[in-house]
A = this chain, B = another copy of it.
């Protein structure tokens, strides 16, 4: 495989080369991994920093419609937009988010947009690595904005937030006792909460929902990376393309503040460090997936759950198998 050629074509904004490179980083084959590493290393430092926007929202909130409308607004401004997805459920369900490009018909035909469905990988660690590498490829290619979409499954929001400059939470209007099912802890990550479907009959409900979340956000601890007024909750209508400009203005204002205050660079550095440590941790913890050790953990875990052995005694036994001493 001619990595230098692939590199050059990506830098010349050849979309087929980009698609091929993403397929390469998504592969689990050892030789592909080696080529992917070589390609990424040769591209490091090229291109500019895109604005990486993480977007989470459960099915039914209108995520596809939002991405389509929001993406079209950005390309109309002359910006190049890539859309990627992290979907740990796709391997199980057999489908994948973004897989059905017909849900984003206009955006998928836009020459300034690039849409890539999520790789079918069951292991979230693998999805995270491959998505980060796809983001790096899109940055080297020269996209202005990289949208990283996820559904609220397991740890996928954390994964996306840790590779994004901005994190958006998209919600649907919910009246009274009709719960949103916002995962506990997810508000922690949101920079902007967007209550979608603020149109027609749902408009007043959307505004009430927005006020509820604005109130909830005010009860949380202030983060150093937030200027006055952030995180914030806003209403939008992706369908009527209403509020999208305003939301983009807020994103731009937040981004500029973070760039000027140094938080942008700090966050990028901290994220690189996070993924380095995370990969090391995952690599070491893979020790526990080895046949004999795994069997012992499963067997002892059942006895611990049944109260037949204390957690500490059982842990000591497993660690003894690994010939490790803990203090």
Question: Cβ of B129 and Cβ of A221 under 8 Å apart?
Answer: no
Residues of B within 8 Å of A216, CB to CB, are 215-216, 219
Residues of B within 8 Å of A222, CB to CB, are 179, 181
Residues of B within 8 Å of A300, CB to CB, are 276
Question: Cβ of B219 and Cβ of A272 under 8 Å apart?
Answer: no
Write out, one digit per residue, whether chain A residues 119-140 have a CB within 8 A of any chain B CB (1) or not (0): 0000000000100110010000
Output the residue of A28, A213, A275, A284 with the most chain B CB within 10 A.
A284
Q: How far is the CB of A137 from chain B (nearest CB, A)?
A: 12
Which of B177, B284, B304 is A287 in contact with, Cβ under 8 Å? B284
Question: Cβ of B324 and Cβ of A284 under 8 Å apart?
Answer: yes
Q: How far is the CB of A80 from chain B (nearest CB, A)?
A: 22
Cα separation A269 to B302 with both chains bound (whole Å): 9
Output the residue of A181, A276, A278 with the most chain B CB within 10 A.
A276
Residues of B within 8 Å of A77, CB to CB, are none
Question: Cβ of A219 and Cβ of B180 under 8 Å apart?
Answer: yes
Residue of B nearest to A220 (CB): B184
Residues of B within 8 Å of A185, CB to CB, are 184-185, 188
Residues of B within 8 Å of A304, CB to CB, are 272-273, 276
Output the residue of A275, A297, A311 with the most chain B CB within 10 A.
A311
A93 interfacial by beta-carbon distance below 8 Å? no
Q: How far is the CB of A178 from chain B (nearest CB, A)?
A: 10
Cα separation A300 to B272 with both chains bound (whole Å): 11
Question: Cβ of A221 and Cβ of B184 under 8 Å apart?
Answer: yes
A183 interfacial by beta-carbon distance below 8 Å? yes
Question: Cβ of B313 and Cβ of A37 under 8 Å apart?
Answer: yes
A170-193, CB < 8 A from B? 177, 179-185, 187-188
Cα separation A243 to B239 with both chains bound (whole Å): 49
Residue of B nearest to A133 (CB): B312
Question: Cβ of A315 and Cβ of B283 under 8 Å apart?
Answer: yes
Q: How far is the CB of A190 from chain B (nearest CB, A)?
A: 10
Known: A284-B288, A319-B284. A177 touches B276 (CB 8 A): no
A266-292, CB < 8 A from B? 269-270, 272-273, 275-288
Write out, one digit per residue, whether chain A residues 290-319 have a CB within 8 A of any chain B CB (1) or not (0): 000000010011001111001111111011
Which of B179, B218, B314 is A219 in contact with, Cβ under 8 Å? B179
A100 interfacial by beta-carbon distance below 8 Å? no
Given contacts A184-B187, A185-B185, 15 further A-B contacts (CB under 8 A): A37-B312, A41-B310, A45-B307, A180-B221, A181-B221, A184-B221, A212-B215, A216-B219, A276-B304, A276-B315, A279-B311, A280-B288, A284-B284, A284-B285, A286-B324
A-B contact pairs, 15 of them (CB 8 A): A28-B327, A41-B310, A41-B313, A44-B310, A182-B219, A184-B187, A216-B219, A272-B304, A276-B314, A277-B297, A278-B311, A279-B315, A280-B318, A283-B318, A284-B322
Which A-B residue pairs are the 5 nearest by beta carbons? Answer: A184-B188, A279-B315, A275-B311, A276-B311, A185-B185
